[in-house]
Structure 1
Amino acid sequence: MIPISDRIRSRSKPIINYWLIGINIPMFLWELKLEFSGELGYFVNTWGVIPAQISGAITNALLFNPAAWIVVIWRSASLILGMFLHGSFSQILGNLLFLWVFGKTVENILGHGRYLGFYITAGILTGIAQILAEPNLTLPLIGANGAIAAILGAYIMKFPKAKIDTILPLLIVYVPIEVPAFVYLFWWFMQQLFYGIGSLNIPPSGVNSSSMFYWSQVVGLFMGGAFMRLKK
């Protein structure tokens, strides 16, 4: 299923959503450039979320090593920058498609400033959940999956029965249909299984292959739903 749009009218242009999409696309193009030059592995391993590095730095800082706090601050920046990096064509296309369809309506509800804060906070909290789940993981975790899951959770909490214009590919025939929004709650997690398609060459192999990478997005999903419920 490929979501195209909903039928909820926006009171204003989703400028933050446009900016988020506009940042993700050139960042991915930059990754492609780095892949051709052989520098992508170093870049992703520097700015991706590596739980073992962050948890190790925090442990050292708590053991009264003042210099370790500098490492904690530097590595914590990956919780934000890592949201704008993607490991495959299928990952970025899926994330941006869901952001385009569902994000604009959530931004319309929250307003521009709160929507940006909501997006960044969701991405950070999902990253923290991944660190807590597997603090010894040495592979980088990247992508906006956690933030997109939160947007989806917020949207479904507000509009569970909204109709989403959808294209259903049947071999080479594309059939337009309407799908209830809550169906995408399940489809979101199903499509994660296909995010390895078109993977970039990011050594070491196994980027985003953590056993908890996809399940930790549940944190974003529930956070988005809870936030929207509290807003009522």
Structure 2
Amino acid sequence: MIPIGDNIRCRSKPIINYWLIGINIAVFLWELRLEFSGELGYFINSWGVIPAQISGAITNALFFNNSAAWIIVIWRAFSLLLGIFLHGSFSQILGNLLFLWVFGKTVENILGHGRYLGFYLATGAIASLVQILAEPSLTVPLIGGNGAIAAVLGVYIMKFPKAKIDTILPLIILYIPIEVPAFFYIFWWFGQQLFYGIGSLNIPPVGVNQSGAVFWGQVVGLLIGAAFMRLKK
């Protein structure tokens, strides 16, 4: 099922949402260039969220008074934000950007431009922290804006649970336009994760996102978005 729009009118242009989508696309194109040149593995392993490296650096900095470890902590802290804009497959970025296009513009209209940007970055970073806590010894990079987009979806569902989402249902060679209640997309959001391996990029040595911690990061993102909207009321 492919969401393409909703029936909620926006009072202003979602310029931040456009920029977020544009940055994601630009970074992914850069990843494709790096894959072609054989440098993608180094780039992802340098800037993706690797729980073992972050948890190890924090342990050395706090408990062993290792000043060099603080440099690693600060450097790796940037990965909590940069990792939001990295993607490991064509299906992952297409799925994420479809949801961001449909639900993000309305959430930006609710929160305002500046607050929406802060909310997106903060929830993405928090989702990454949850992934680190869930599996601190993991050595595989975790990337993607899934946690931030799940939070956006949580805000949308809390505000407009009965909104109708314009959806295309692909049936082999036919595409049937239908309307689906917004609440349904909570389940479809997690269901589509099963297809994120399609069109994977070649990221040596072990790929990315090979952990159940990714799931928990998204669950927390969804709950943060719902709770935020609940408190805002």
Bin the TM-score by the shorter chain.
over 0.9
Please say which of residues 201-210 and 147-156 is displaced more in the overlay. Answer: 201-210
**Partner Cα distance (1:213, 1:9) in 2:** 33
Q: Within the alignment, does 1:27 sit opposite 2:30 as a pair?
A: no
What is the CA distance between 1:216 and its match in structure 2?
2.3
Matched-pair contact (CA < 8 Å) for 2:3–2:167? yes
**Partner in structure 1 of residue 184 of structure 2:** 183
What is the CA distance between 1:211 and its match in structure 2?
2.1
**Partner in structure 2 of residue 203 of structure 1:** 204
What is the CA distance between 1:204 and its match in structure 2?
1.8
Please say which of residues 94-103 and 203-212 is displaced more in the overlay. Answer: 203-212
In structure 2, stretches of 5+ residues that fail to align are none
Q: Deviations over 1:155-183 (max 9, x none)?
A: 00111110000000111100000000000
List aligned pairs for 1:77-226, cutoff 5 A. 77-226=78-227
SS in 2 for 1:177: strand
Q: Structure 2 counterpart of 1:97, which letter?
A: L
Matched-pair contact (CA < 8 Å) for 2:48–2:83? yes
Matched-pair contact (CA < 8 Å) for 1:87–1:200? yes
What is the CA distance between 1:67 and its match in structure 2?
1.9
What is the CA distance between 1:205 and its match in structure 2?
2.3
**Partner Cα distance (2:82, 2:216) in 1:** 21
SS in 1 for 2:106: helix
SS in 1 for 2:178: strand
Q: Deviations over 1:15-35 (max 9, x none)?
A: 000000010001000000000
Q: Structure 1 counterpart of 2:162, which letter?
A: K
SS in 2 for 1:169: strand
**Partner Cα distance (1:42, 1:66) in 2:** 25
Matched-pair contact (CA < 8 Å) for 2:134–2:213? yes
Matched-pair contact (CA < 8 Å) for 1:139–1:204? no
SS in 2 for 1:164: strand
What is the CA distance between 1:112 and its match in structure 2?
0.2
RMSD, aligned α-carbons:
0.7
Matched-pair contact (CA < 8 Å) for 1:153–1:224? yes
SS in 1 for 2:214: coil
In structure 1, stretches of 5+ residues that fail to align are none
Matched-pair contact (CA < 8 Å) for 1:12–1:108? yes
Q: Would you identify which runs of 4 or more consecutive aligned residues in structure 1 move more than 3 Å? A: none
**Partner Cα distance (1:155, 1:110) in 2:** 11
Matched-pair contact (CA < 8 Å) for 1:14–1:108? yes
Matched-pair contact (CA < 8 Å) for 1:119–1:151? yes
**Partner in structure 2 of residue 8 of structure 1:** 8
What is the CA distance between 1:206 and its match in structure 2?
3.5
What is the CA distance between 1:226 and its match in structure 2?
0.3
TM-score by length of 2: 0.98
**Partner Cα distance (2:53, 2:9) in 1:** 45
Matched-pair contact (CA < 8 Å) for 1:153–1:225? yes
Q: Structure 2 counterpart of 1:9, which letter?
A: R
